[in-house]
Amino acid sequence: MDTPNKIYLTEEEIPKQWYNIRADMKVKPAPLISPATHKPLTFEELTPVFCDELVRQELDDTTPYIDIPEEVLGFYKMYRPSPVMRAYRLEKELGTPAKIYYKFEGNNTSGSHKLNSAIAQAYYAKKQGLKGVTTETGAGQWGTALSMACAYVGLECKVFMVKCSYEQKIYRREVMRSYGANATSSPSTATKIGQKILAETPNTTGSLGCAISEAVEAAVTQEGYRYVLGSVLGQVLLHQSVIGLETKTALDKYGIKPDIIIGCTGGGSNFGGLIAPYVGEMLRGENFYRLIAVEPTSCPSFTRGKYKYDFCDTGMITPLAKMYTLGSHFIPSPNHAGGLRYHGMSSILSQLYADGVIEAVAVEQKPVFESATLFARAEGILPAPESAHAVHSAVLEALACKDSGEAKTIVFGLSGTGYFDMTAYETFNNGTMDDHVPTDEELAVGFAGIPDVPEDI
């Protein structure tokens, strides 16, 4: 049967439960530990920072399926199910025998998949009777998504936005303001850690790690506030599993089994969500897929990082997470994929990578934008710079199929649109885009900041 251009599920087919990858992992991801005692953090230790229910989800590595609350499902129905698209025109343009599909998460005002976890986190915060939440945002996708979710449930929202994004992406800032959120350029003078970082490096372009420090400080020092995070954590990958579950339901309807599944990775929420049910099958020994995480060469946590316990933030006030990391002090060059500039990687994906379940590749910015433009002209959707990394990797795999004559089925995650990232496209259109691949010496500076934690923790 010929697949349509867009496979849409009905609203009734939106999954009623999220899937928790950890339940099927034989080697569980390492737990968050205290920087002081090196002991796993308990519910009581985590709840001053995070909402109670989200801590429960964070600590749960055994329950495979967790019910999606009715209210969250109601919100999902505003913009979900999202379509699985067949890239017929891109295939033709590339002249490849490969069949290319993409799960498109950009059809909402936040323009990305981030809304899937934002509404869940805002819902639990509201249910707990909190007054507001704080967070950080890199590209602005998470901040926008959280603003929308908070406006919906009626919660205050304070967003620390990485300085280079804050300055590049004024449109994103205004979307957040339109949804009633408060957006601050990070590092800022609003927090002690921000003041300290500004004193030490007044010309910094900021980083996600630094913005996290500020958001956590702002949460724990204000009554009725908690901190929420848009990626990296197990709870976020849990919520984002809705992407993969929908993808699998849609493809299964047409009897389509992917050979290769590709997603871009910053903290890992998009890729982790997309592959969720497929990696579950692999972990249970039922099936095999090539699962490829794509990161920028400017911030190569998987491909050049160390698998170590490290701080999640620059200010070193968060718990330690075991992950592929470039060191919490590593500041990548100010490239245009703001969402992929995080120094570390989801503990779940890190363990899967260490175990050889998933692969990773790093790609450079300019060819990424070449593929983005090719894709936009063929398929009519202008990708986010982050998502364009997955587009580029899919193009390379499709061209490899052209060389080998294999008609592989490639599925990638188009996690968002680039409508708020036109400054990046302007640089590309003007021919002035460059990239900086860190030298071994530059990486060594970041690695030196990784704390010394015994291997047997």
Binding site for a second copy (CB under 8 A): 4-6, 8, 10-11, 75, 77-79, 89, 107-109, 111, 148, 151-152, 170-171, 174-175, 177-180, 373, 376-382, 417, 419-420, 422-423, 425-426, 428-429
Closest CB to a second copy among residues 378, 399: 378
Closest CB to a second copy among residues 61, 93: 93
Shortest distance (Å) from residue 422 CB to a second copy: 4
Shortest distance (Å) from residue 32 CB to a second copy: 32
Closest CB to a second copy among residues 184, 213: 184
Q: What is the largest CA-CA distance in the chain?
A: 63
Closest CB to a second copy among residues 257, 377: 377
Shortest distance (Å) from residue 418 CB to a second copy: 9
Closest CB to a second copy among residues 65, 419: 419
Shortest distance (Å) from residue 407 CB to a second copy: 22
Shortest distance (Å) from residue 6 CB to a second copy: 7
Shortest distance (Å) from residue 143 CB to a second copy: 14
Closest CB to a second copy among residues 168, 350: 168
Closest CB to a second copy among residues 70, 174: 174
Shortest distance (Å) from residue 376 CB to a second copy: 6
